[in-house]
Chains A and B, each alone.
Chain A
Amino acid sequence: MENTIHATQAIVTLDVALPGIIWGWMITLNMWAKSIGTGVILVGAFLLYRHKKEEMPNLRWMMPLLAFIFLNIFLLFTLTDLHHPYRMVNIFLHPHWTSAITVGAWMASLFTGLITLMLLIGIGDAHPGVPFKGCKLTAMGRSLSPLYEKIFPFVVFLAVPVTLYTAIIMAESSARELWQAPAEVMQMMWAAFMAGSSALILVSGNWSKEARKDLALVLAIATFFSFMMYMGEYFFSFKSAEAEATLAFVHSGGPYNVEFWFGMVLGFIIPFFIAMGNMKSDNKTLLKLAAILALVGLYMAKDVWLKIPQLLNLS
């Protein structure tokens, strides 16, 4: 700041009203839901690599079901946040490929399509009578059963860029200096592992102890590294005047200080210790509590990180 001495202090005395927060809670919800949608696929793939399917009897249909639900929440709020939702079709008719929004929309649509197919197959195989006996969709899913294993590796591969593209949108938002691509990319990845493991923990009631132990391990690692990255940015930041001014909103006395630390303690510190403890002695209830806390805390952390750079005046 150049206005710290009397001779140079400068104050705006006449100006227009400036925009406040442009991307609000809908974008937070969008990012949070996408983390779950792609995270369950990434963590599910890890579990399938490590364990036999029999140890996680409902994973084959539960994983695409969770992904399907949360990807649709993500897509719904992506659409709802647009001022002209029907013009979303322009992204497909007039794509502009330098934009991470365009690339992301195409990849997320393809990803959701493949997840829908996996869900149909998964449900068709596991519950032929759902939603009703003789349902043609479920029957079609059953008939395509061998396809599940064939498309799954591609879906896992696609889950990575679908997870990461929001970080590139944030990096392309040149006006917001707090959002640096390397940090945001890693935060998105950790968020997906956090959210994915948390969501799967909530449906892992009848899974083997070993599978749950792995879920706890993923949750512990993801919360630890994500927390460390937040702390790195919080205390040391990307050294620029804008980043420092942005972080003042979460530092002591800042309007987002309480929400940030609430999110950190609730979503990262407590779940980390519960997950670590759970690796020694299996406690389903405590682990589920950790999962819920992690999901709540993750939402709060994402909300703060999305909003604070927008509080800075750009001109």
Chain B
Amino acid sequence: MKLGFLVDLNLCMGCKGCEVACKVENEVPLSTWRLRVKYIDIGTFPDTSRSFTPLRCNHCESAPCERICPVSALHYLENGIVNVDSSRCIGCAGCMMACPYGAIYMDPETNTADKCTYCAHRVESGMMPACVVVCPVGANIFGDVEDDNSNISQYIMAHQGAVQVRKPEKNTQPKHYYVGGGTQTLDPLAHERLEGYGLFNNITHLEAIGDKHHGVLDRFLAPFESEEKYDNRSFMDFDNKDYKSELTEGDN
């Protein structure tokens, strides 16, 4: 059994339902994403089109993240899923350096590497991943790519010649396919990502990976401090003056 994903980009309408469902199902902290939908505008006004590309871990058969992980925190499950054991992760970020798809993040709550696991916990109990269930147009297709009769295999057969993977030149043998994508949508070098406020949001970079308040000393002191001191500190770093004044009063 080899579980795989296929996204039909012709069907995807960019509702971000999958993104939200993933966040809720896996309790993905703020500032990090296991699955994101990127909007790309192609062409020049007035002849433009907008494409929506859901991006998640590709669960490669030859996964660079699994190979570089020094402690096997990233490991294969029997069904082909590349899973993460966060209790073993040392936080070296080697996997983030190795993944050609930028699919791995440093969880700011646990300061360990994390990523999409194809909802391994749901799959184990016979359910579909949360993003599949929530998709209103059935653009996310999930199943066993080694079973010729599975939905995903049938879909791939029906779209022979039009099925792509991201960065095939990396030889990672991804088990995540796309139908209907073009170079502009699947190749990050084929579109511009201009930093700054755009049509919808601020296109930007994270200031740090993991919890940005988890400094060098904190890393060494963390096991001896109470969890309250470190838990969620990153998420309080927005302009919430009420919270800050409350915190100051509380401290006094």
How many chain A residues touch the partner (CB < 8 A)?
55
Q: Assuming A10-B41, A14-B200, A80-B216, what are 10 further A-B pairs, CB within 8 angstroms?
A: A10-B185, A12-B40, A13-B41, A14-B198, A15-B201, A18-B102, A80-B219, A84-B111, A315-B101, A315-B102
A173-B40 in contact given A11-B191, A87-B89 (Cβ < 8 Å):
no
A133 at the interface (CB under 8 A from B): no
In the A-B complex, the 5 residue pairs with the closest CB atoms: A83-B91, A314-B102, A10-B191, A14-B39, A10-B184
Query: B67 to A314, Cβ gap below 8 A?
Result: no
Nearest-neighbour CB distance to chain A for B154, whole angstroms, equals 28
A175-B64 in contact given A10-B42, A94-B88, A105-B70 (Cβ < 8 Å):
yes
| Per-residue B-contact encoding for A1-22, CB less than 8 Å = 1, 0 else | 1110011111111111111101
Query: A315 to B188, Cβ gap below 8 A?
Result: yes
Give the number of A-B contacts (CB < 8 Å): 206
Listed A/B pairs (24) with beta-carbon separation below 8 Å: A3-B184, A10-B41, A10-B42, A12-B38, A13-B39, A13-B50, A14-B38, A17-B31, A17-B206, A19-B105, A80-B219, A83-B90, A83-B91, A85-B90, A99-B68, A101-B94, A172-B64, A176-B97, A240-B169, A313-B188, A314-B100, A315-B101, A315-B103, A315-B188
Nearest-neighbour CB distance to chain A for B51, whole angstroms, equals 8
A46 at the interface (CB under 8 A from B): no
B135 at the interface (CB under 8 A from A): no
Query: B223 to A9, Cβ gap below 8 A?
Result: no
B36 at the interface (CB under 8 A from A): yes
Chain A positions near chain B (C-beta within 8 angstroms): 1-3, 6-20, 22-23, 80-88, 90-91, 94-96, 98-102, 105, 169, 172-176, 240-242, 245, 310, 312-315
Nearest-neighbour CB distance to chain B for A83, whole angstroms, equals 3
Query: A173 to B68, Cβ gap below 8 A?
Result: yes
Query: A100 to B200, Cβ gap below 8 A?
Result: no
Residue of A95, A100, A101 with highest tally of chain B CB at under 10 A: A101
Query: B71 to A95, Cβ gap below 8 A?
Result: yes
Within 8 A of A (CB), among B59-73: 64, 66-72
Contacts of B204 in A (CB 8 A): 17
Query: B90 to A7, Cβ gap below 8 A?
Result: no
Query: B33 to A87, Cβ gap below 8 A?
Result: no
Query: A94 to B72, Cβ gap below 8 A?
Result: yes
Nearest-neighbour CB distance to chain A for B96, whole angstroms, equals 5
Query: B33 to A2, Cβ gap below 8 A?
Result: no
